[in-house]
Structure 1
Amino acid sequence: MIHNRLNTQPNFAVPDDFYERLIDAHRDLSTEQSHAMNAALVLLLSNHIGDLDVISDALDKARAAVRPTA
């Protein structure tokens, strides 16, 4: 059985287009609204992926990229 793995390699034909779209989606939102939009986006994309192993790997990697405050 082959398990899906999290693809961490560049995967956009034009990465700047994605970044611009992401920034535009946050434009004119308050910090609270921006956080809520990010949470909704995570849930939507996680549902689309639908593989708990891949999502868990992504969560672990994202958490490791952020230093928790003591």
Structure 2
Amino acid sequence: MPLITEPHLDAPDSFYEALIEAHRDLTEAQSHALNARLVLLLANHIGQLDVLQQALAAARASGR
């Protein structure tokens, strides 16, 4: 299954607001830990190693 890279969220602004709210009042370390837990939860939800590897490669490439 290919990684979906086109916009796919049905309510992107609402998700962004929820993400920002989840980080409110956290220390930098707590924020990093929240992100790590979120990544692992979403990876578990996706469940397909090939898709996760595509996502890792895409995220790494876009950060350069």
**For this structure pair, what is the TM-score category when the shorter chain's length is used for normalisation?**
over 0.9
Task: Provide the alpha-carbon RMSD of the alignment.
Answer: 0.8
Between the aligned residues of both structures, percent identity stands at 61
- String of CA shifts for 1:21-45, please: whole Å, max 9, x gaps: 1000000000000000000000010
For the residues of structure 2 that align with 1:35 and 1:19, how far apart are their CA atoms?
A: 17
User: Please, which runs of 5 or more residues in structure 1 have no aligned partner?
Assistant: none
Deviation at 1:53, TM superposition (A): 0.3
Instruction: Provide runs of 4+ in structure 1 moved above 3 Å.
Output: none
The TM-score with structure 1 as length reference comes to 0.86
User: Please, which runs of 5 or more residues in structure 2 have no aligned partner?
Assistant: none
Going by fraction, where is helix more abundant, 1 or 2? 2
Helix, strand or coil for the counterpart of 2:63? Answer: coil
For the residues of structure 2 that align with 1:63 and 1:12, how far apart are their CA atoms?
A: 21
- String of CA shifts for 1:8-62, please: whole Å, max 9, x gaps: 1111122100100100000000000000000000001001100000000000010
Q: In the alignment, residue 60 of structure 1 is paired with which amino acid?
A: A
The alignment of Structure 1 onto Structure 2 pairs a total of residues equal to 64
The TM-score with structure 2 as length reference comes to 0.94
Larger Rg: 1
In structure 1, what is the equivalent of residue 55 of structure 2?
A: 58
Q: Determine whether 1:17 maps to 2:14.
A: yes
